[in-house]
Structure 1
Amino acid sequence: MFTESQIHLAMVFLKMFLRDIQSMLFNLFFPMAFIGVFLFTGGDPDPIKVGVLDKAQNQLSRSFTSLLDQDNTFDVVEGLETDLSAQLIDGELIAIVEIPEKFDYENQLGKLNLILDASQVRQLDGIKDSIEKTLLSIERELRGNEAMFSLEIVDMKARPQRYIDFLIPGLLAFMLMNLSIAGSGFNLVEYRRRGILKRLFVTPIMPKDFIISIVLARLVIVLIQLSVVLWFALLVLDIQLTGGLVSLYGMIMLGSLVFLCFGFCFGSVAKTQEAIRPLVTSFTFPQLILSGVFFPISSLPEIIQPIAEFLPLSVIASSLRGIANDGLSLLSFDLNLLGVVVWLIVSFFLATRYFVWRDVAG
């Protein structure tokens, strides 16, 4: 399948890549740092700290305070008016619920005061809704009425999914993009600067041997580094992987080929490291924001979504997410797989169009 010279040259390039320990550690540190930042995101939110100023001191006010305290949305603090006001001004409380002296169900005196700075409270609607829900519960209890309607959430996927399960496939896609472009694009420019390409040009090595060797060596690096992150997520973070590892690694290799081809294109166009950096940044940075690595593409403005969904990183991240979270296989034909194939064809065309052995070596 591969010639002896291709394998030998791939081993040489692999040794050169492995000598750059700092780069490898940084490439691992970056996604690990993101995992650390977002690890606890998506869990239960911290309770909203509210004060209750009970001026009525009757059975109804005590029932309201008790039910409000049972709501996990709130962390209820009772106290005097001066103490609660001072805590609200200092930012220790989000709001104060004032129960007036005339708080009486029988005389239809059930009006509460919600004291806060509305311009500073993002959860105003949520606080108001929760308090109204608590008041409704008290009213039903006093009237002896059962709720007429109830809402039960049914998960069609019948499995729990945390934010970290959503995040990991996107991070893997982002990692393989950076590693692949750096492996072909930046190294191509560096080999030209050091005269390595010029020396290879006068040897019997064919251009295809050089390209295949770079691809093989970089695929090994990509698979090693992504495996570290993936198995850390599986064993330590206990992420859900419903698809097969074979399909996942197959998509990783396809995605790596896409970005390796883009890297060859960038490395052929740019002649120096100073020239290739802004070129690569303009290609990768918008995709980091728009490709659904950290949040769903559906949360973007509607006018941007059609463009964002067809970006190279988007289709690869969505394909990895489909395998990891939805149980798809590499052979499951969908629009994401079609997008990966299209981008592979486009990137291969650009790489062969701009990678001219004589020009690149010179």
Structure 2
Amino acid sequence: MNGVKYSQWRAMLAITKGSLRGIFRSPSAVVFSLGFPLVFILVFGFIGGGSVSVKVGVDRHTDINSRFYEGLSKVKTLKLVTDQPAAEMEDDLKKGRITAILNVVPQPGADSLPHFLVNIRTSTASDAGKKAILLSVLKEVTARIDDRVYPRASVATFTSEEIPGRVFKTIDFILPGQLGFALMSAAVFGTAFLFYSLRQTLVLKRFFATPIKRTYIVLAEAFSRMIFQLISSVVIIGLGHFAFGFTLVHGWVTFMEMLVLSVFGLLVFMGFGFVVSSIAKNESTIPPLANIVTLPQFLLAGTFFPIDSFPAWLQPICKVMPLTYLIDALRKVAFEGQHLWHVGWDIAILTLWGVVVYAVAVKVFRWE
């Protein structure tokens, strides 16, 4: 070495830099890490957060100038359809596209007080929940008119108090799930393909001809993945926050804590990638093996739906998966304002998974 001391760290940084350039030039890496999650976030960001809307058809014989109809038209929950042919409206009712068809007809009473006959036509195809909302709205409108027409003493007096709260938006649920999915996919697929390719192209073997130690080779590749995923996480969180109002309770503190959790989750899932790259017999077997790890978690770890919405027999399986605890920790930190020491249970389960998967990786990992 001519008296020159070889720097393992400088060699590691050089490999990290080269690997990072390769990742940015890889379309698949960008798609898995940013493309898919951003598409889901954009879709749910635009459609989420709205209130429930009940679409109701209005029969052409309805008296739209009546007091009852005016009361209905002021209810924001109802979307009254008045400009549709009767045949089309009937067809929409049969197909469940509208909840009901209303016909409000004034009825002559014994006195001069108003009275209305409200005919409600529904279908077995209509959403049961929306039918219940419609009936509740009709009763409320009726009660309001009754109070004006027949003023009477009430058996109860109501007082209300509203305390400040935090609205849980759709994006607050979806974004942590998509961030966890992006981290898992990039870690498992990226690591598996990378080390399999390095072995097949004899790049690892060439590294052995240099003074760099094997540990630093692995660290260099891990650092490059970590840097890229941190950038991806910043983009995902930033877009969600500034474009769709994703909640970061403590601002920059919450943002940094989410990045710490992202790095930790990435390290755990990279262990699965090491295992897959080692047991894969050829490159075509990597996707099926990686999907065995990622697909069940993508569907069952609370990425799109709360775990409580799954059947009771399936929930224990959901609660075993590491992605469940990463997503849960991200949601608690982002929306509930908890700090890292408050999500110790989630971190502990992830740590346990990390210990197990890296123990397996050490046993099966092949350098050549």
Q: Where on the TM-score scale, by shorter chain, does this alignment land: which range?
A: 0.7 to 0.9
Identify which range, 99-108 or 270-279, moves more after superposition. 99-108
The alignment partner of 2:341 has SS state of: coil
* Structure 1 spans left out of the alignment, 5+ residues: none
1:151 Cα offset (Å): 9.2
Distance verdict in 2 for CA 1:289–1:151, change over 3 Å: farther
- Map of 1:297 onto structure 2: 307
1:314 Cα offset (Å): 0.8
TM-score (norm 2): 0.84
- Map of 2:4 onto structure 1: none
1:300 Cα offset (Å): 1.6
**Residues of 1 paired with 2:98 and 2:341: CA distance?**
54
**Residues of 2 paired with 1:317 and 1:351: CA distance?**
24
Distance verdict in 2 for CA 1:103–1:310, change over 3 Å: farther
**Residues of 2 paired with 1:149 and 1:265: CA distance?**
67
- Map of 2:184 onto structure 1: 177
- Map of 2:101 onto structure 1: 96
- Map of 1:328 onto structure 2: 338
Superposed, which structure 2 residues align to 1:213-228 within 5 Å?
213-228=220-235
Distance verdict in 2 for CA 1:29–1:178, change over 3 Å: same
The alignment partner of 1:113 has SS state of: strand
**Residues of 2 paired with 1:89 and 1:223: CA distance?**
53
TM-score (norm 1): 0.85
Which of 232, 240, 248 is 2:239 aligned to?
232
- Root-mean-square deviation (Å): 3.1
**Residues 11-61 of structure 1, C-alpha deviation per residue, up to 9 Å, x if partnerless?**
232232233245325532211111121112231234513205556x69xx9
Task: Please tell me whether the aligned partners of residues 52 and 65 of structure 1 are also in contact (alpha carbons under 8 angstroms).
Answer: no
**Residues of 1 paired with 2:337 and 2:198: CA distance?**
42
Distance verdict in 2 for CA 1:121–1:251, change over 3 Å: closer
Counterpart code for 1:43: G
- Map of 1:66 onto structure 2: 70
Which of 266, 270, 275 is 2:280 aligned to?
270
- Map of 1:307 onto structure 2: 317
Distance verdict in 2 for CA 1:223–1:105, change over 3 Å: farther
Instruction: Work out whether 1:144 is the aligned partner of 2:151.
Output: yes
Superposed, which structure 2 residues align to 1:46-57 within 5 Å?
46-52=53-59
- Map of 1:15 onto structure 2: 21
Task: Please tell me whether the aligned partners of residues 174 and 304 of structure 2 are also in contact (alpha carbons under 8 angstroms).
Answer: yes
1:180 Cα offset (Å): 1.3
Identify which range, 289-298 or 129-138, moves more after superposition. 129-138
- Map of 1:130 onto structure 2: 137
Identify which range, 46-55 or 322-331, moves more after superposition. 46-55
The alignment partner of 1:341 has SS state of: helix
Task: Please tell me whether the aligned partners of residues 173 and 317 of structure 1 are also in contact (alpha carbons under 8 angstroms).
Answer: yes
**Residues of 2 paired with 1:267 and 1:319: CA distance?**
28
Distance verdict in 2 for CA 1:105–1:352, change over 3 Å: farther
- Map of 2:51 onto structure 1: 44
* Structure 2 spans left out of the alignment, 5+ residues: 1-6
